[in-house]
Structure 1
Amino acid sequence: MTTLTTTPRRRKAVGNALRARLCRLLAPFALLVGLTACAGSGEQHVTVMVPWDGQDEFGAFYSVVKDFEHDTGIKVDVQVTRALTQQLDAAVTADAPPDLAVLPSPTAIARYVRQEDGAKRAAVLQPFDEKTVDIGAYLEPFQGLGQVGGATYAVPVKIDVKSLVWYDTETTGKPRTGSTDALSSFAREGGLGWCLGLASGPTSGWPGADWIADIVLADAGTDVYARWASGRLPWTTTAIERAWTRWRALVGAPTLKKASDYGFTKATQAMADPKPGCRLAHGARSALAAELQKEPRFDFVAPSAHAPLEVSGDFIGMFTDDNPAARTFVHYLSGAQAQQTWVDAAGSSAFSARAEGIGYRNAVQQRIAALLEPASGHPLCFGAADLMSPDVVAAFYRAVLDYAGGDGDAKTLMSHLQQVQPSPDGTDQVPRDDICSDPT
């Protein structure tokens, strides 16, 4: 739980929010012990579970929360946890979920819609009506990714572009494009190293998984990418195996070996080190270390015009159906005013999935946001790992670490991953036809 108390008004708000959460958690026992202290406050409350604890991400979200509380009088209890999936699962199992929670992927959305309740299936996520969410105001592919069976169960609140390569403008010339071939030549000719770290706690390996998915998308195209990401194309397919070997050739075996147990944050921070070292990094701006984000000398290069881009997003879903304040908050959060507040507060590290009505003040942010527009000609494809079942994702990340460390060749690792891959008709995999947008 993150608490910010700088004024009497905010201390009162936080106290009310804490009381609201305590009441929700103790509600199942109220009839047994005669609990009455929660009644009579007269205030509306909404609880929301989020995974952001950094100054930039949480600070931007909290700016929206403060505006909402001021405009509506509804108090928001923000529950902050880095172990969101585990805590949310525990809360759902205990029948004491938060009103709202941030979900990291369409797979998570579908899983909670199809959540098993004993011997029967019961929807845990509650659908949004058109009065709450205008899903048509959002960019593709984000419109469909929050839907299951035609109903909208989640709305994107923050998105980013993963297919970017960052470089130091003071020590490095600008790469021609972000294509694998162009970057390989650029790095080789300039003697430039990649700032790459794969260690990231329980999700170690994810930076490599994103990069490999990016190569699949660039080399094989949106159709192959979408079929692979949704479990309809085997890992043993030549295009998938080739992406791994292309990654090793681009980065270099020695760099991969070091990266297998090198921290992701340390690797991005190394770009800001004035001593000679790595000068290139791959990934979304919001994922990079705060020190790197604030350095004006860093710029990015994207794939060539009309090349597909890998994107990501955080969605918010509703887990209770008896709190109108929750719908009010989602309606507010998904609107242009709140999205603009979020973008402004986040500086250059957050982007909105709304198609219109959002302005970007930072020049680098403006260029990234332009890539998301249909007029750019770039098809947008959601991150592959975010579309896979939890078991496959864990195996994918493990394979990345093994491959980087030299413990296995691509062909053997792909065979192992295929053994973990569930049937596309199974409940653990959700084949989708809306993974990629079509800007034409």
Structure 2
Amino acid sequence: MTRRFRLLVLLVVLVVTGSVVTLWAQRDEPEPVTILGPWTDTQERQFEEVLRGLGVPFDYQGTAAQREVLLSQVQSGDPPDIAIMPGVGELAEYADQDRLRPLNGLYDASEYGAPWSSAGHASGAVYWVPVKADLKSIVWYRHGNEPTPAPAPMESWCMGMGDDGASGWPGSDWIEDLVLQREGPDTYGDWALGRERWTAKPVRTAWEAWGRLLQRNPTTAGEALLADHRGNPDRNGLLFANDRGCTLEHQGSFARAFYGDRHAGLVDSAKLLPGGPYPQRAHEVTGDFAALFSDRPQAKELIGKLASREGQRAWATFPNVFSANRGVPRKAKDTGKQISEGLTGPGVRCLDASDVMAPALRDAFYEATLLTMARAAAGTDLGIRSLLRDLQRVQDAQPPTRAGLERVCSGPP
């Protein structure tokens, strides 16, 4: 059966009143809008609660492997009506293949400031919108262990490189933040968009600074290589579930969801990064972006309502959900207020560089950070220059995208 309307069902009822036969046709209800997204467990239940309030029948599938699931569905010719992806690198490829439908006119785009609103097509068509946002370039700390404004030793950092199908991205966050705070948004944006070479000094020296931090304690580096970035879910995340006394965690605002009922503070990362302190040039941000694979009116209606001020307000009522929509009230207190201000208030914001990159380059980036940490743990040469040459070859092999971003950051340094 297709996802349009089910076939007309003919119902025949024989009424035994003489020889009268009554025949009529009944049209079934339209099929629900299918949505593929990244949220499972608690956030899946919260998201479905929001969807029910939008008044459009839906069928949500949450998975930690949405990239693989979406690719399989697209290749089989049966993609979801709406896909929600962490970042826009993959979505740009689908747009280039003419698989996405424009979102223009479905919601008020003026409610989303840069860099969120810059995610579009050279023709003026917009193919994705952030329906959940998170702040990066921050460091979490346990209360009572507020950091001094100086680079922290390796032993202070809670690190975990593991993730479902995307291990290594926490290392990419370190390098991205170092490029951003050391060199500023212009250089960072050029690198994210492929206009700055991997082998150039800004990227190389940032990577070397991270590598020197890892080399200071090979044992800690080895532990981080094997740890999951979420920590043990039964023990409140890496910051509170460790036996070695680390007190700091360089991770996005989504880490709040891992800490359970434990409370952590946060500070900007620039002063604590290796080789610093640096001035805080900007905040790196990330988002879960919704894209439309279908022309169905119900799908267009749902994605418009979800991206609207009202839909985003409903979603952001949950404690660990933040929105890039400027019409959504900021969280009222504590770290929630800091995160909200970082996402929609004054200051420069830059999209996560690896999220913008083509999937093949992004995956190679993740692998290279794992190799760097493994070599640090083994006490061998890090081979950073060789790794960067390999990454440049991967970048050179990528075709240009018609749906590429023109800007990654929201404004000048």
| Residues matched between the structures, number | 382
Question: Matches of 2:76 and 2:187 in 1, distance apart?
Answer: 41
Question: Matches of 2:201 and 2:294 in 1, distance apart?
Answer: 45
Task: Determine which structure has the larger helix proportion and give its number.
Answer: 1
2:2 to 15, 24, 30: 24
TM normalised by structure 1 equals 0.79
Deviations 1:48-102 (A, max 9, x none): 11121131x3233122112113xxxx31111222221222222222322211111
Alpha-carbon shift at residue 327 of structure 1 (Å)? 1.4
2:343 to 372, 385, 390: 372
Question: Matches of 2:155 and 2:293 in 1, distance apart?
Answer: 48
1:231 to 170, 176, 194: 194
User: Does the CA contact (< 8 Å) of 1:374 and 1:439 recur in 2?
Assistant: no
Which residue identity does 1:144 align to in structure 2?
S
**Aligned twin of 2:259:** 292
**Aligned twin of 1:3:** none
Alpha-carbon shift at residue 306 of structure 1 (Å)? 5.7
TM normalised by structure 2 equals 0.84
Residue 396 of structure 2 aligns to a residue whose secondary structure is coil
Pair 1:42-2:22 in alignment? no
Deviations 1:22-66 (A, max 9, x none): x43799xx99xx9989x72235621111121131x3233122112
**Aligned twin of 1:93:** 75
Alpha-carbon shift at residue 430 of structure 1 (Å)? 6.5
Q: Percent identity at matched positions?
A: 30
**Aligned twin of 2:274:** none
Question: Matches of 1:421 and 1:429 in 2, distance apart?
Answer: 16
1:163 to 137, 141, 161: 137
User: Does the CA contact (< 8 Å) of 2:138 and 2:252 recur in 1?
Assistant: yes
Which residue identity does 1:197 align to in structure 2?
G
2:127 to 139, 153, 159: 153
- Structure label with greater radius of gyration: 2
Which structure's relative contact order is higher, taking Cα pairs within 8 Å and 6+ residues apart? Answer: 2
Runs of 4+ in structure 1 deviating by more than 6 angstroms, as ranges, are 34-37
Matches within 5 A, 1:72-83: 74-83=56-65
Question: Matches of 2:178 and 2:227 in 1, distance apart?
Answer: 22
Residues 431 and 243 from structure 1, CA distance in 2 versus in 1: closer, same or farther, beyond 3 angstroms? farther
Residues 362 and 439 from structure 1, CA distance in 2 versus in 1: closer, same or farther, beyond 3 angstroms? farther
RMSD: 2.8
Pair 1:279-2:228 in alignment? no
Residue 156 of structure 1 aligns to a residue whose secondary structure is strand
Residues 24 and 362 from structure 1, CA distance in 2 versus in 1: closer, same or farther, beyond 3 angstroms? farther
Which sections of structure 1, spanning at least 5 residues, go unmatched? Answer: 1-22, 116-122, 177-181
Residues 270 and 315 from structure 1, CA distance in 2 versus in 1: closer, same or farther, beyond 3 angstroms? closer
Deviations 1:224-249 (A, max 9, x none): 11111111111111111111121133
More deviation in 257-266 or 207-216? Answer: 257-266
Residue 266 of structure 1 aligns to a residue whose secondary structure is coil
Which sections of structure 2, spanning at least 5 residues, go unmatched? Answer: 12-25, 271-278
**Aligned twin of 2:389:** 415
User: Does the CA contact (< 8 Å) of 1:217 and 1:308 recur in 2?
Assistant: yes
**Aligned twin of 2:14:** none
Alpha-carbon shift at residue 291 of structure 1 (Å)? 4.1
User: Does the CA contact (< 8 Å) of 2:35 and 2:58 recur in 1?
Assistant: yes
User: Does the CA contact (< 8 Å) of 2:286 and 2:352 recur in 1?
Assistant: yes
Residues 289 and 306 from structure 1, CA distance in 2 versus in 1: closer, same or farther, beyond 3 angstroms? closer
Deviations 1:101-151 (A, max 9, x none): 112222222211111xxxxxxx11011232x12112102100011445311
2:304 to 325, 328, 331: 331
Alpha-carbon shift at residue 217 of structure 1 (Å)? 0.5
